Structure 1
Amino acid sequence: MEYLDLVYFHLVTVVLAFVIGTYLLIKRKGTKNHKFLGRLYMVLMLLTAISTLFIPAQVGGFIFYHFGYIHILSLITLYTVPEAFIAIKKNNVKKHRNSMIILYVSAILIAGTFAFTPGRLLHTWLFV
């Protein structure tokens, strides 16, 4: 995949995850619909995080090769999704809920905010 193809893929998966994640946070928990959308949300978040590992950092310093500080949020996602899945399978609702909140806040809200800062691609597309 070329660089822009990866960026578009990442953008599609994260926008879908944002919509589904927001819906899941608002609506009643434990229903069949919640479980189905929750699995879809987790898959989208994993795809989003994996895709970022192939997109080089454009702003800020590099940590390791082409990885920047924002890639730390991808690692949090790759840890948090399985953690939340295992927690709910073990009927640990509190841990599952906390993991999902951490995932939503760090990987969608914080990373999304960074995506619109000057020098980043989305900022350039929308404001320049």
Structure 2
Amino acid sequence: MNIEAFFQAPWHVQLHAGAAIAAVLLGAVQLIAPKGTLPHRQLGYVWVALMLTVAITAIFIRSGGSFSWIHIFVPLTLIGVASLILAARKGLVARHRGTVMGLYIGALMIPGAFSFLPGRLMHTVVTGG
């Protein structure tokens, strides 16, 4: 483990990774906790803020100064967040649930898995190399 690599990364990378980890953890809680309650709604707003932080900070993380294929998750996340909010406000529970699951898996878990590939920060942090 090399936590120092995390603290040596630029601040926007630290914010991105921290928000992503927090969104994964809070998302797991939200998925298993009772739905429709005040805490669910309040924590949902926090989760949305974390997702927006992850997406927006990703814009500033570039290899060689240009966007990579993984940046496709930025507009997908932004659209997904807007969609889940609209679905919740309209009372479209099934659509809200599906959008949240799609974001959790498609915008957090899948890109998160890529962050553990060799040469990426999380790989360095976890494996030390």
Query: Structure 2 length normalisation: TM-score?
Result: 0.87
- Counterpart in the other structure of 1:93: 93
RMSD: 1.4
Decide whether aligned partners of structure 1 residues 57 and 94 sit closer, same or farther in structure 2, where only a CA change above 3 A counts: farther
Which consecutive unaligned segments of at least 5 residues does structure 1 have? 59-64
Cα offsets for 1:21-64 (capped at 9, x unmatched): 00001111101010000111011100110000011037xxxxxx
Aligned pairs for 1:1-128 (under 5 A) are 4-57=10-63, 66-127=66-127, 128=129
Rounded to whole Å, the distance in 2 between the matches of 1:70 and 1:91 is 32
Q: Percent identity?
A: 37
Deviating above 4 A after TM superposition, structure 1's stretches of 4 or more consecutive aligned residues are: none
Secondary structure at the aligned position of 1:119 is classed as coil
Which consecutive unaligned segments of at least 5 residues does structure 2 have? 1-8
- Which residue identity is paired with 2:90? K
Higher relative contact order (CA 8 A, sep 6+): 2
Secondary structure at the aligned position of 1:118 is classed as coil
Secondary structure at the aligned position of 2:10 is classed as helix
Query: Structure 1 length normalisation: TM-score?
Result: 0.88
- Which residue identity is paired with 1:119? G
